[in-house]
A and B are shown apart, each in its own frame.
Chain A
Amino acid sequence: MALAQRKSDALTARIAGLDLQVGDWSEAARKDALSRLAAMGLPDRRDEYWRYTDPAALTAPAAPAAAPSDADDGALVFDSIDRLRLVFVDGVFDAAASDDPALAGVEISRLAEGGALHWARDLYGTLETRAQTPVARPLATLNTAFARDGVLIRVTERAVRPVALIYRQGSKGSDAILHHCVKVEAGSELTVLESGTAAARVNCVLEVDIAEGGRFHHIRMQGRDHDRHALTHVFARLAAESLFKSFTLTANGRLTRNEAVIEILGDDAVAHVAGAALGDGDFHQDDTVFVTHGAERGESRQVFKKVLRNGATGVFQGKILVKQGAQKTDGYQISQSLLLDEDSQFLAKPELEIYADDVKCSHGSTSGAIDETALFYLRSRGLPEKAAQSLLVLAFLAEALAEIEDEALAEDIRARLENWLTRQEASAATMDGDAPEARG
């Protein structure tokens, strides 16, 4: 078959330069991933799941070049937050640049050191595998097979500080494959922060397994570098009464696809995924989310807001699947775009699939221009046009920002956004202002 042949040829070319790590604890999972991958091949534009985003740059044998940003300018993301910093350069852990990984109630190991960790053996690749139906996600499988580095985190208490994964790009053509696993034990709590550009191209997987009553928060800043390509997957599995909250700010980057696959397996669990994206020019940002309710009284929210201009593209594919028996599910999904000009576009595919009869689910998707009446009202009170526009942009993003539970983190992100918008006001002539600083 021509189609299958094309896909497997692409796979052969892509993995030609990659080494399958064997001889350690993850060998079985990696080999299993490789055989699953061989059966799937790599995705291309003809796949329904990639209809709005061309994966060519993500599947190409080599990473498209992207210049690393100047490391010395601007303030640092989350700098005001007391956090445990783990630094990765071009997708490889840099112990010297990182903090001593000592945090009460949190065990942190490097991916390669997982040999003694039963939980890691059980988790690595497991949620990724579960997420392959009903939609195949071959690039996540490729990640499981070929991940070069990552962290393994087990949480047994309420962590007093967030763990910050700080990414830095060292070279122009770097191609990173990162795989992190987090096990949140019953009743414990952790916040993971991610920031910075991992590499010219990154494929990053985060598997999060949350036991009963566990709480996991994820705040991610993707920004700054105009040319980088990123594909991320967050796979989460929620036991009873657990909580998962993820927020991502994407500002710039040539191509970004953030997938989140969340499975609610225990009753009374809460899962929120939110994103704010600011796209300017040659920018393509895609949020693809799949939330499965497999237990009773689950609450899920998907809140995605995108501000696009100068030909930027935003994509949202979001699904809520409510399985039989998942009664009293409360599912909410909203995706909205603010198009600042006619060259930009927003493509949305919101989906609901419900097999239980006593549920409350709603979804909505809108796309609109800036409210001219509001803009005039603000200007008539003396606000310069750009400042008035920034205020309206922030107001538009507010619902997504409200998903950040921690006040200090929310403030940090809001300040960064304002700063970015102000700088854009200043450089309005070029319409190519700097994105918020998103290094570590």
Chain B
Amino acid sequence: MLKIENLHVKLEEEDKVILKGVDLTVEAGKVHAIMGPNGSGKSTLSYVLAGRDGYEVTEGSAQLDGVELLDMDPEERAAAGLFLAFQYPVEIPGVGNMTFLRTAVNAQRKARGEEEMSAGEFLKVIREKAKALKIDADMMKRPVNVGFSGGEKKRNEILQMAMLEPRMCILDETDSGLDVDAMKLVSEGVNALRDAGRAFLVITHYQRLLDHIKPDVVHIMADGRIVKTGGPELALEVERNGYAGILSEVA
């Protein structure tokens, strides 16, 4: 589903190279996890895939079902089925959560030539999904992420994902800031979306999340590259011994 080849990325404004040849393939129906030390380039990879400004791709490609993502605008990538749950969800004062999400759902549907969701239907669906994530109606009326606690912001990201039903979901440290119960809720939300036509790329520092969302493949990223790929046991090794062993072994 997602195929990243030899991706090199530098900052647009300065001569700083962040991704130095990332190779990664995620098949439909699978959950891949990426772990790696702080500053190794995990969030940068997710931003570049989502289409954020400020980065320059100097080499390589990233395709979603054979279509080059890197040529598209962020909204086109979203309509094509890519979703990024942000490590730091953005607060947008003055824009209501509900308005925003309905506009987003319908913009994507329109871009795909599908029929728009009626206000009534939208309300019904979102109520149900918000309830499952224990997001109360009051929060939905507030401006996007404004005054939300760290955990509420993360749950809101998952709600957006549930509403938008993307095919390729990238979760950047969605577990950070979540309490134990919220982690379960979020994981259940993610697991409910798992199916043969959908894939997940889960960026995390902790095994805890992977206890709930069982990965098929685990990648270790270091200094802008995927340096090691393995099964779920790789995450357990990181949990026990940190990165030192793995990094010296591949160096």
Contact = CB atoms under 8 A, between A and B. Distances in A.
Contacts of A354: none
For the complex of A and B, 8 pairs with smallest distance between CB atoms: A395-B94, A382-B78, A382-B108, A379-B74, A381-B104, A377-B90, A398-B94, A382-B107
B95 A383 contact: no
18 contacts: A374-B90, A376-B50, A376-B52, A377-B86, A377-B92, A378-B100, A379-B51, A379-B78, A380-B50, A380-B51, A381-B164, A383-B75, A383-B103, A384-B107, A391-B99, A394-B95, A398-B94, A399-B94
B173 to A, nearest CB: 16
A372 interface: yes
A352 interface: no
B181 to A, nearest CB: 26
Contact of B95 (A372, A373, A382, A392): A392
B177 interface: no
Contacts of A377: 86, 89-90, 92, 144
Contacts, number: 80
A394 to B, nearest CB: 7
Given A383-B107, A387-B103, A387-B107, A376 B94 contact: no
B111 interface: yes
Given A376-B90, A380-B84, 9 more contacts: A376-B50, A377-B92, A377-B144, A379-B78, A380-B83, A383-B103, A384-B75, A384-B111, A391-B100
B78 A372 contact: no
B73 interface: yes
Contact of A376 (B74, B101, B111, B143): B74
Contact of B100 (A376, A381, A399): A381
B92 A392 contact: yes
Contacts of A380: 50-52, 74-75, 77-78, 83-84
A371 B53 CA distance: 13
A396 to B, nearest CB: 7
A399 B143 CA distance: 13
Query: In the complex, which range does the number of interface residues on chain B fall in?
Result: 20 to 34
Interface string B88-120: 011111110001110111011001000000000
A122 B105 CA distance: 60
A305 B83 CA distance: 34
A373 B89 CA distance: 10
A379 B86 CA distance: 13
Contacts of A373: 90
B22 interface: no
Contacts of A371: 92
Interface in A357-404: 371-374, 376-385, 387-388, 391-392, 394-396, 398-399
Given A376-B53, A381-B104, A383-B107, A395 B95 contact: yes
Query: In the complex, which range does the number of interface residues on chain A fall in?
Result: 20 to 34
A364 to B, nearest CB: 15
Nearest to A373: B90
A166 to B, nearest CB: 31
Contacts of A395: 92-95, 143
B107 A374 contact: no
Contact of A378 (B79, B92, B143): B92
B129 to A, nearest CB: 15
**Chain A CB within 10 Å, residue with most, of B51, B89, B94:** B94
B104 A374 contact: no
B94 A396 contact: yes
Contacts of B95: 378, 391-392, 394-395
Nearest to A374: B92
A216 B160 CA distance: 44
A381 B78 contact: yes
A9 B53 CA distance: 57
B27 to A, nearest CB: 23
Nearest to A399: B94
A305 to B, nearest CB: 11
A391 B77 CA distance: 20
A320 B184 CA distance: 54
B53 A372 contact: yes
Nearest to B103: A383
B94 to A, nearest CB: 3
Contacts of B91: 374
Interface string B195-218: 000000000000000000000000
Nearest to B105: A382
A387 B103 CA distance: 9
Contacts of A378: 92, 95, 100, 104
A396 B83 CA distance: 27
A396 B107 CA distance: 22
A36 B120 CA distance: 63
Nearest to B101: A381
B52 A394 contact: no
A382 B92 contact: no
Contacts of B105: 382
